[in-house]
C-alpha cells in the first residue's frame, strides 16, 4: 500500500487566517504532532493565495502554491521559532511546551514545504528535536499497532488504517491543503 503524501495546514494561534503548511507521507502521525521544525537560516514567505494565506519556504513556494500567489512577508526560520500554532487534531492540546515552531538543522528545501511536521514518537530527528526543547513524546499507539481506544476518530484502528479517516477529517475541516482547491 502506497503512503498517501499530504500537505496539512497548521493555523497560527495569533493569526488564524495564516497557516504553516507541512508535508507528510504518514497522515496517521498527525494526531501525534507536537512541533513544526524549520531551518534556522532558510527563508520563508507568508504568501496570499486564492485559497488562503500560507507560510512555506521561499524556495518551494511555487512548487507548493502554484504560480499564483503574492508574497506578503519574508522571514528566516530563526524569526519563526516559538510561533504558536493550532495542531490538526486536539488530543494533545495543552501538552507542555508543544505546538510551537522549533528550529532544526536537518530541515532542507529539497522537498515538501520546508517545514517538517514533527511527531517525536515516530522519527529519530523528531524525537531529538523534542528532547532538545524539553517536550516529552506522546504515543497514542498500543504495542499491538492499534490506536488507544480513547483517541477520537481513530481509536482502536490499526495505525495504517487511520490514514483514510484522518485525511477525510482534515479535508472536511479545510486543513488538507491542495493546490487549486
Ligand atoms: N517527521 C515525519 C514526517 O513528517 C514523521 C516521522 C512524523 O512524516
Query: Total structural domains in the chain?
Result: 1
Does residue 141 lie within any of the structural domains?
A: no
- Which ligand 1 atom is the nearest neighbour of the CA of 23? 4
Residue 105 grid cell: 538543522
The answer to whether 145 and 121 have CB atoms below 8 angstroms apart is: no
Look up the domain containing 127 and give its range.
6-136
Does residue 181 lie within any of the structural domains?
A: no
| Residue nearest atom 7 of ligand 1, based on CA coordinates | 119
Substitution candidate for ligand 1 out of 21, 36, 123, 139 with most atoms within 8 A of CB:
123
**Interatomic CA distance for residues 11 and 109, integer angstroms:** 21
122 in contact with ligand 1, CB cutoff 6 A: yes
CA angle 78, 16, 34 (to 5 degrees): 55
| Residue nearest atom 8 of ligand 1, based on CA coordinates | 24
102 φ/ψ angles, rounded to the nearest 5 degrees: -115, 155
Ligand 1 centroid to residue 64 C-alpha, Å: 18
Q: Give residue-wise pLDDT tens across range 79-137.
A: 999 999 999 999 999 999 999 999 999 999 999 999 999 999 999 999 999 999 999 99
**Interatomic CA distance for residues 162 and 152, integer angstroms:** 11
Q: What is the ipTM of this complex?
A: 0.93
Does residue 114 lie within any of the structural domains?
A: yes
What is the chain's mean pLDDT, rounded? 96
Does residue 161 lie within any of the structural domains?
A: no
Q: Give residue-wise pLDDT tens across range 21-47.
A: 999 999 999 999 999 999 999 999 999
Does residue 12 lie within any of the structural domains?
A: yes
pLDDT at res. 144: 98
- Which ligand 1 atom is the nearest neighbour of the CA of 117? 4
Q: Specify burial of residue 175 (Cβ count, 10 A radius: 0-12, 13-18, 19+).
A: buried
Return the number of other C-beta atoms located less than 10 Å from residue 77's C-beta.
Answer: 22
CATH number at residue 105: 3.90.740.10
Amino acid at each position: 500500500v502506497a503512503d498517501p503524501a499530504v500537505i496539512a495546514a497548521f493555523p497560527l494561534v495569533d493569526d488564524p487566517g495564516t497557516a504553516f503548511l507541512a508535508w507528510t507521507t504518514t497522515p496517521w502521525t498527525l494526531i501525534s504532532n507536537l512541533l513544526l521544525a524549520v531551518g534556522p537560516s532558510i527563508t520563508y514567505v507568508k504568501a496570499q493565495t486564492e485559497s488562503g494565506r500560507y507560510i512555506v519556504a521561499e524556495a518551494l513556494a511555487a512548487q507548493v502554491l502554484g504560480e499564483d500567489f503574492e508574497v506578503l512577508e519574508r522571514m528566516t526560520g530563526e524569526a519563526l521559532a516559538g510561533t504558536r500554532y493550532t495542531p490538526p487534531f486536539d488530543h494533545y492540546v495543552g501538552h507542555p511546551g508543544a505546538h510551537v515552531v522549533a528550529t532544526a538543522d536537518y530541515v532542507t528545501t529539497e522537498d515538501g514545504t520546508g517545514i517538517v511536521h514533527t511527531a517525536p514518537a515516530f522519527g529519530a530527528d523528531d524525537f531529538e528535536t523534542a528532547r532538545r526543547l524539553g517536550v516529552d513524546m506522546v504515543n497514542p499507539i498500543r504495542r499491538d499497532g492499534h490506536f488507544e481506544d480513547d483517541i477520537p476518530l481513530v481509536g482502536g484502528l490499526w495505525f495504517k488504517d487511520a490514514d483514510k479517516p484522518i485525511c477525510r477529517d482534515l479535508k472536511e475541516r479545510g486543513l488538507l491543503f491542495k493546490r487549486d482547491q
